[in-house]
Homo-oligomer: A and B are copies of this chain.
Amino acid sequence: MKKVSISDIARKAGVSVSTVSFVMNDKAVKMRISREVIEKVENVAREMGYRPNQLARGLRTGKTKTIGLIVENISNAFFATLAKSIEDEAKRYDYKVVYCSTDNDEEKARELINMLSQRQVDGYIITPTLNLGEEIRKLQGENKPVILIDRYFPQHDEIPAVLVDNYEGVAHGMETLIQKGYRKIALVTIETEMAHMKDRLHAYCDVLRRHNIPDEKGLVKIIPYNSDHEKALEEVEALLSRAGTDIDAVFFLTNYLGVLGIEVIKKLQIRVPEQLAVICFDDNDIFRLYTPTISVIRQPIEEIGKKAMSQLVERLRHSGEETYPISTPVQLTADLVTRESI
């Protein structure tokens, strides 16, 4: 049972392939196909269950109605939620999404871009890794729109991005901690050169400095990206075992680190917030339900997805035109959600 093709329809309906194509693409009226023929073709197509081959269509038209979404890791709650929001939004614009995970590996990211490019996706939404600037410029050179999300390249401001204000988010959290009287604030972050994490780190340092609190090196723990769960736990444990003495608060700079932190806090039976105030960048079901509930800087995930998609569609519409609309960069705010942990 082979698939039915347009010529099968044409044969059965006793018309030419072109006529079938016109009917299927609602160009029948423009092409002045008669009422009867239109109906005939439509009936035959329905009876035979005809579904146009998108490979052939894409090959001919150069458009696949597909966009590529590259995230860090689809099994992470943040990216999974983001992906769903983008998938839903894409559907509204009649686009299909193909996702893949970089695992934060530059080489893998490059491969993924190549793979998507070979599959002729019409546009990209990318959570970039380091050093992807050139690769992305190449895509733009081929006239394929790209929107960055979550991360960006400060040196390439011609690549549009949908971001949250990382600096402001962390600064707000820090100010709140300080205002509540915490002074010995530790930080747990991930080892990376990427700007969005640097922004978060800078906010931490700047706020401390603004309040004349020395930012001792010992209070900042940087977890290497590829350390396994056990190793990372140990690192965090080493830091948090000082809670109650030379640390009175901790700021986790990512969702994943926060969960790790909870694990350590539970293990060491640290009392929160008495011994240690806790705040995390990016929310998670756990933070809402843990006892005590954990305060977070919440990113508007749905909105990031929607905005990224609408920015992309905008560009897709104008693709091929001379005057490429230079949109202003989109910066959303990450709000503090105060819970019991501070």
In the bound complex, what is the Cα–Cα distance between A119 and B96 (angstroms)?
A: 10
- Nearest residue in B to A2 (C-beta to C-beta)? B142
Is A289 a contact partner of B291 (Cβ separation < 8 A)? no
In the bound complex, what is the Cα–Cα distance between A117 and B74 (angstroms)?
A: 24
Report if A3 contacts B (CB, 8 A).
Answer: yes
- Nearest residue in B to A140 (C-beta to C-beta)? B1
Report if A51 contacts B (CB, 8 A).
Answer: yes
Is A77 a contact partner of B74 (Cβ separation < 8 A)? no
Residue of B1, B80, B259 near A74 (CB, 8 A) is B80
Is B84 a contact partner of A74 (Cβ separation < 8 A)? yes
Query: Which of A98, A119, A266, A290 gathers the greatest number of chain B CB atoms within 10 Å?
Result: A119
Is A1 a contact partner of B83 (Cβ separation < 8 A)? no
In the bound complex, what is the Cα–Cα distance between A289 and B259 (angstroms)?
A: 9
By the criterion of a CB under 8 Å from any partner CB, how many residues of chain A are at the interface? Answer: 49
Report if A285 contacts B (CB, 8 A).
Answer: yes
Report if A226 contacts B (CB, 8 A).
Answer: no
Q: Which A55-103 residues have C-beta < 8 A from chain B?
A: 55-56, 58-59, 64, 66, 73-77, 80-81, 83-85, 87, 96-101
Please, what's the 1-or-0 string for A120-161, where 1 marks a CB less than 8 Å from any CB in chain B?
100000000000000000000111000000000000000000
Residue of B75, B80, B115, B291 near A266 (CB, 8 A) is B291
With A55-B119, A117-B51, A289-B290 in contact, is A1–B142 under 8 Å at CB? yes
Q: Which A194-243 residues have C-beta < 8 A from chain B?
A: none
Report if A24 contacts B (CB, 8 A).
Answer: no
Report if A118 contacts B (CB, 8 A).
Answer: yes
Chain B residues, Cβ within 8 Å of A84: 73-75, 101
- Nearest residue in B to A288 (C-beta to C-beta)? B263
Residue of B66, B118, B290 near A51 (CB, 8 A) is B118
With A77-B80, A87-B100 in contact, is A3–B142 under 8 Å at CB? yes
Is B101 a contact partner of A87 (Cβ separation < 8 A)? yes
Q: Which A176-199 residues have C-beta < 8 A from chain B?
A: none
Chain B residues, Cβ within 8 Å of A14: none
Report if A329 contacts B (CB, 8 A).
Answer: no
What are some 22 contacts across the A-B interface (CB < 8 A)? A1-B141, A54-B119, A54-B120, A55-B56, A55-B64, A55-B119, A55-B120, A56-B59, A73-B84, A75-B80, A75-B81, A76-B80, A80-B80, A87-B101, A96-B98, A96-B100, A97-B100, A263-B289, A266-B291, A290-B290, A290-B291, A291-B291
Residues of chain A touching chain B, judged by Cβ–Cβ distance below 8 Å, are 1-3, 51-56, 58-59, 64, 66, 73-77, 80-81, 83-85, 87, 96-101, 114-115, 117-120, 141-143, 259, 262-263, 266, 285-286, 288-291
